[in-house]
């Protein structure tokens, strides 16, 4: 088990561009290949155990790792009623093979998710717009680069997102691609809001009612956007759909909120309610917040 | 059960025949002459068309005057029913609707739970039948007709179990959405145990046809709630799936055990348990929870949370005319939960102290509107404006395909005289409302809460946003096919 966690840490450090959840799912697939369990139930239990370890190792991306692993396990075990010859054979090998097939199917779909989202979302960026984004998100970057590749001229404002200052990294990578980007303070969003055309943010997790879990500072931006009547868009892969239903900021689990699960520290994420979100760009399509529940129900119930 | 209306079946007969006479007279002019004049005689050819027309007009005027006179007489003697305008075969459709729902105990076992009535309804009250324009499409309460008068003992009899149930619902011995559905399941089981199918007919069509007058009778006694409607739909569907070659005993066994018992078990009993577990997780230590009136499910959630050792306060909001919140308070304080009690008028005042609002539902409509007791929408609105989460608890069998955007489109009107009750004063200032010509009392039973006021709906399947109601309906209809 520990080997796998170490492997996960190593992979995350090496591949900055791949989402942590995808790396975690890859680790889970490797585990299925190498495990020597005899029954499906045992395998599911061990996978869940491994997921909880990976979650702790994931740091700030806990929600996406948790949701990704959960969805993965759900997806590979979902079609139990078909292919009955596999389930009746009393040997585990055909079952394992089946699960690996499904797992690889899932993985391939996931790897394409970012390109799919970019393809769906870039038409929303027209010539001459000013886009506001919060902190650093790879999905948003891929959308912006796609729009840039299609020869659109636009301006991006990125909030610096204290204390980790991840916004600075985002600005640097955008400038490297040739996109016109400016770094602004978190506190100056009120100042810039009148010039902004729409807000596009990434997500750490999307909850059941369509609400958003993202870096702390996203919620105030959403509230301001509502006050100024600016559209607020979220770009998120579908594996970040999380089966939680927070009613307030306090309902988020502690380990996703605070570093070291210590309440004395400042929170790292906040929760944006669904009525402040206009659209979600996902690999399942452009959705409204109420459709997130629909998608989750299809998979879980 | 004492009859309070002075109308007996014989009087109903007379009035129906009277209607026949009148509607015959209101018919097109050709029928008039045909009825009064023997068919062999021809009208005298000397009269011109204009003269004939004038004669007919005179006759019509005379009849109109006679009708107005009859109406005036009946307004003076409110004990008799006014002549109904429907075709004579149909019985008078004025339905008796009871007062606002009280919720009953005994959700666990499918047994009827009789309660002593608060008001002695055996007193005869002469009431003029007033109709308010805006609510004219809704069922208006009419105390004059007794539900059992509407039963005809001819070809389509109503089984005694349903007769009893109808009167119990009408007189409010059985109330509450879960309670009424459970009582209906009970009555259906009794009916099935005594049901016999003639050899020449198929069970499924005969059984459905036999149940139809029973359900119609129940609708006459009191409009069916969403829970009852959904059970009836389910029952009809499962009866229609019985293969024709199945024997009567097997079919009976199957419907009783498989459908009725399991429906109750899964949708009412176990669902309540699951909802309780999920909802209790939402209650944190230090919470102040606001509840409305008295609902067994909500009380169960609070009592279970207390048993699990959570520390919280409850704010009970009560509304007239029934003031059932007092019962709720008693039960909660008996369990050691500290309660505060307010009337709904002061809900906006206390909302600042509240952390969560917990509400029940009678039904969840396909566009996300929550149908519940009147007053619920108001509380949800006040909670929303104060940024307090509104939690609605509803079993999935209460999800309906109906769509409604306001509370008037579909509702029930209960007895207006219940609004005269008051704990403070003996006589209400509008006690003589029937004599005042332009005064009407309206006692609504339901109201519809829009989905943007509700934060979460807790069902036994999952915790959902309000807008996911059609998803569950779609999934259920897919599963059924």
d(CA A198, CA A186): 17
Return the pLDDT at B109. 40
Helix (H, G, I), strand (E, B) or coil at A295: helix
CB-CB contact of A249 with A211 (8 Å): no
Whether B389 sits inside 8 A of A294 (CB atoms) is: no
CB-CB contact of A133 with A157 (8 Å): yes
> Of B456, B468, B472, which has the smallest distance from its Cβ to A290's Cβ?
B468
CB-CB contact of A205 with A179 (8 Å): no
Among the listed residues A207, A202, A199, A201, the one whose alpha carbon sits nearest the alpha carbon of residue A271? A207
Return the pLDDT at B251. 79
Whether A209 sits inside 8 A of B462 (CB atoms) is: no
Whether A294 sits inside 8 A of B455 (CB atoms) is: no
Among the listed residues A220, A218, A135, A141, the one whose alpha carbon sits nearest the alpha carbon of residue A177? A141
Which residue in A206, A223, A243, A248 has the most chain B C-beta atoms within 10 A of its own C-beta, making it the best mutation to test that interface?
A248
Please state whether B6 falls in left (phi above 0), alpha (psi between -120 and 50) or beta: alpha
Whether A274 sits inside 8 A of B461 (CB atoms) is: no
* A233 pLDDT above the threshold of 90: yes
Going from the C-alpha of B258 to that of each of B165, B234, B238, the distances in angstroms are 23, 12, 10
- Residues A66-82 have a mean pLDDT of 76
Site of tokens 């009955």: A84
CB-CB contact of B283 with B289 (8 Å): yes
d(CA B187, CA B231): 12
Q: How many residues does chain B have?
A: 481
Q: What is the 3-state secondary structure (H, E, C) of B111-162?
A: CCCCCCCCCCCCCCCCCCCCCCCCCCCCECCCCCCCHHHHCCCCCCCCCHHH
CA A113 to chain centre: 11
The pairing of strands A279-282 and A232-235 is: parallel
Whether A247 sits inside 8 A of B391 (CB atoms) is: yes
Which residues on B lie below 8 Å from A210 (Cβ)? 465
Chain B residues whose C-beta sits inside 8 Å of any chain A C-beta: 282, 356, 389, 391, 452, 455-456, 461-465, 467-468, 471-472, 475
CA distance A153 to chain B (A): 38
Dump pLDDT digits (tens) for B113-155. Answer: 444 444 444 434 444 555 677 887 887 666 656 667 766 666 6
d(CA B233, CA B210): 15
* Degrees to nearest 5, angle at CA A296 with A291 and A297: 95
Return the pLDDT at A272. 94
Tell me the DSSP string of B420-452: G--SS-SS-TTTTTTTSTT-----B-EEEE-GG
CA distance B326 to chain A (A): 29
Tell me the DSSP string of A201-222: E--SEE-TTS-EEEETTHHHHH
Please state whether B138 falls in left (phi above 0), alpha (psi between -120 and 50) or beta: beta
* A111 pLDDT above the threshold of 60: yes
d(CA B26, CA B99): 37
Tally C-beta pairs within 8 A across A and B.
Answer: 39
Least reliable range by pLDDT among A6-15, B97-106, B289-298, B363-372: B97-106
Helix (H, G, I), strand (E, B) or coil at A244: coil
Q: Report residue B93's pLDDT band, with 50, 70 and 90 as the boundaries.
A: very low
Return the pLDDT at A79. 64
CB-CB contact of B320 with B419 (8 Å): yes
Return the pLDDT at A188. 94
CA distance A110 to chain B (A): 25
- Dig out the tokens for A208 from the structure: 């059941």
Which residues on B lie below 8 Å from A245 (Cβ)? 456, 463
d(CA A49, CA A28): 11
Q: Which residues pair with B343 in a beta bridge?
A: B318
What letter does residue B399 receive in the DSSP assignment? Answer: B
Q: If you measure CA to CA, which chain A residue comes closest to B391? A: A247
Dump pLDDT digits (tens) for A161-191. Answer: 887 889 999 999 999 999 999 999 999 999 9
Dump pLDDT digits (tens) for B395-407. Answer: 999 999 999 888 8
Whether B475 sits inside 8 A of A297 (CB atoms) is: yes
Which residue in A74, A288, A293, A298 has the most chain B C-beta atoms within 10 A of its own C-beta, making it the best mutation to test that interface?
A293
* B374 pLDDT above the threshold of 50: yes
Least reliable range by pLDDT among A85-99, B205-219, B229-243, B262-276: A85-99
Interface confidence, given as ipTM, is 0.81
d(CA B418, CA B414): 8
- Dig out the tokens for A26 from the structure: 């890859």
d(CA B249, CA B257): 12
Return the pLDDT at A60. 65
Whether A297 sits inside 8 A of B464 (CB atoms) is: yes
Dump pLDDT digits (tens) for B156-207. Answer: 688 888 888 988 888 778 888 899 999 999 999 999 888 887 777 788 888 8
d(CA B407, CA B446): 7
What letter does residue B41 receive in the DSSP assignment? Answer: P
d(CA B183, CA B189): 10
- Residues A30-47 have a mean pLDDT of 82
* A68 pLDDT above the threshold of 70: yes
Dump pLDDT digits (tens) for B433-453. Answer: 888 888 888 888 899 999 999
Dump pLDDT digits (tens) for B11-31. Answer: 444 444 444 444 434 434 343
Q: How many CB atoms lie within 10 A of CB A300?
A: 15
The pairing of strands B356-360 and B363-364 is: unpaired
Whether B452 sits inside 8 A of A275 (CB atoms) is: yes
> Of A209, A275, A294, which has the smallest distance from its Cβ to B471's Cβ?
A294
């Amino acid at each position: 088990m520990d080997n796998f966690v170490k492997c996960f840490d190593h992979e995350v450090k090496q591949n900055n561009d791949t989402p942590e959840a995808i790396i975690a799912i890859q680790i889970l697939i490797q585990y299925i290949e190498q495990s020597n369990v005899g029954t499906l139930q045992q395998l599911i239990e061990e996978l869940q155990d491994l997921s909880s370890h990976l979650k702790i190792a994931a740091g700030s991306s806990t929600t996406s790792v948790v949701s990704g692993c959960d969805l993965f396990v759900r997806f590979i075990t979902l079609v139990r009623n078909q292919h009955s010859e596999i389930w009746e054979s009393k040997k585990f090998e055909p079952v394992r093979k089946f699960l690996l097939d499904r797992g690889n199917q899932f993985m391939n779909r996931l790897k394409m998710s970012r390109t799919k989202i970019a393809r769906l979302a870039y038409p929303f960026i027209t010539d001459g717009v000013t886009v506001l984004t919060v902190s650093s998100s790879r999905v948003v970057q891929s959308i912006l680069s796609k729009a840039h590749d299609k020869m659109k001229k636009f301006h991006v404002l990125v909030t610096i997102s204290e204390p980790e200052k991840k916004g600075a990294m985002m600005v640097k990578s955008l400038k490297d691609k040739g996109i016109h980007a400016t770094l602004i303070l978190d506190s100056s969003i009120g100042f810039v809001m009148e010039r902004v055309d729409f807000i596009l943010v990434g997500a750490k997790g999307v909850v059941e009612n369509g609400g958003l879990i993202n870096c702390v500072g996203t919620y105030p931006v959403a509230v301001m956007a509502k006050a100024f009547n600016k559209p607020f868009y979220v770009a998120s892969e579908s594996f970040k759909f999380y089966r939680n239903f927070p009613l307030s900021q306090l309902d988020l689990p502690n380990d996703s909120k605070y570093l070291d699960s210590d309440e004395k520290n400042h929170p790292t994420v906040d929760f944006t309610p669904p009525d402040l979100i206009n659209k979600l760009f996902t690999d399942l399509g452009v959705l409204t917040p109420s459709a997130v529940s629909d998608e989750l129900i299809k998979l879980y119930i | 059960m004492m009859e309070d209306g002075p109308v007996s079946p014989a009087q109903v007969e007379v009035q129906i025949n009277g209607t026949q006479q009148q509607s015959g007279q209101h018919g097109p002019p050709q029928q008039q002459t045909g009825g009064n004049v023997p068919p062999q005689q021809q009208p005298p050819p000397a009269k011109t068309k204009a003269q004939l027309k004038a004669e007919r007009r005179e006759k019509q005027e005379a009849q109109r005057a006679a009708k107005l006179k009859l109406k005036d007489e009946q307004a003076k003697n409110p004990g008799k029913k006014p002549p109904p305008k429907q075709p004579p075969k149909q019985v008078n459709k004025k339905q008796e609707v009871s007062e606002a729902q009280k919720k009953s105990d005994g959700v666990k076992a499918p047994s009827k739970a009789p309660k002593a009535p608060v008001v002695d309804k055996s007193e005869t009250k002469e009431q003029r039948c007033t109709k308010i324009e805006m609510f004219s499409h809704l069922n208006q309460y009419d105390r004059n007709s007794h539900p059992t008068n509407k039963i005809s003992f001819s070809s389509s009899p109503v089984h005694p179990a349903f007769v009893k149930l109808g009167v119990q619902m009408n007189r409010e011995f059985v109330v509450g959405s879960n309670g009424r559905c459970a009582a209906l399941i009970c009555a259906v089981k009794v009916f099935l145990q005594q049901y016999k199918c003639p050899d020449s007919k198929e069970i499924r069509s005969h059984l459905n046809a036999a149940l139809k007058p029973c359900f119609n009778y129940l609708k006459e006694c009191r409009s069916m709630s969403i829970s009852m409607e959904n059970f009836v739909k389910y029952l009809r569907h499962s009866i229609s799936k019985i293969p024709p070659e199945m024997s009567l005993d097997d079919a009976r066994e199957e419907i009783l055990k498989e459908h009725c018992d399991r429906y109750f078990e899964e949708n009412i009993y176990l669902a309540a348990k699951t909802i309780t577990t999920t909802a209790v997780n939402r209650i944190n230590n230090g919470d102040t929870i606001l509840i409305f009136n008295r609902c067994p499910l909500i009380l169960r959630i609070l009592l279970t949370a207390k048993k699990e050792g959570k520390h919280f306060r409850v704010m009970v909001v009560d509304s007239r005319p029934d003031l059932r919140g007092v019962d709720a308070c008693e039960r909660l304080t008996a369990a050691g939960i500290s309660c505060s009690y307010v009337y709904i008028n002061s809900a906006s005042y206390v909302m600042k102290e509240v952390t969560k609002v917990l509400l029940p539902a009678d039904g969840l409509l396909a566009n996300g509107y929550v149908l519940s007791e009147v007053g619920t929408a108001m509380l949800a609105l006040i909670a929303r404006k104060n940024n307090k989460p509104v939690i609605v608890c509803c079993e999935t069998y209460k999800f309906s395909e109906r769509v409604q955007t306001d509370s008037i489109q579909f509702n029930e009107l209960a007895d207006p005289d219940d609004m005269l009750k008051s704990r403070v004063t003996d006589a209400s200032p509008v006690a003589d409302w029937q004599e005042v010509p332009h005064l009407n009392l309206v006692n609504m039973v339901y109201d519809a809460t829009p989905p943007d006021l509700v934060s979460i709906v807790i069902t036994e399947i999952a915790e959902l946003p309000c807008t996911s109601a059609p998803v569950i309906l779609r999934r259920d209809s897919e599963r059924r096919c």
